Amino acid sequence: MAKSQQQRDNELVERRKELDDRELRHRVRPGIHEKLQDLMAWHGITEKSEAIQLMIMNAHAAGPAGSASHLSIPRHEITISPNVARALAEFVPPAEPD
């Protein structure tokens, strides 16, 4: 006889307890979601959880030095052109009112 939905749910709960299975949730903005979708498409991955798990496992396998470049926060580099630097150096702020 087929198992009821309740029986299947109970077995799933027990399996998760035995494996110490934990759920991770993470909210992202559209740009990050698009990047994840691109990564999944490039490598034929259909499940988001699988893609994230693979990224975590591969970053960990790369070790501290190997994973550092992938886990660093990207920063914008601000470069001031010589013309802007000259204009800033010549700038005299207006006098403050008394």
Query: What pLDDT score does 47 carry?
Result: 95
Query: What pLDDT score does 83 carry?
Result: 94
How many whole angstroms separate alpha carbon 92 and alpha carbon 55? Answer: 52
pTM metric for this prediction = 0.61
Query: What pLDDT score does 35 carry?
Result: 95
Tens-level pLDDT at each residue, the chain (98 residues)? 788 999 999 999 999 899 998 888 889 999 999 999 999 999 999 999 999 999 999 999 999 999 998 888 888 888 999 999 999 888 878 778 87
Residue 62 CA from chain centroid, whole number: 17
How many whole angstroms separate alpha carbon 59 and alpha carbon 68? Answer: 9
How many whole angstroms separate alpha carbon 33 and alpha carbon 63? Answer: 26
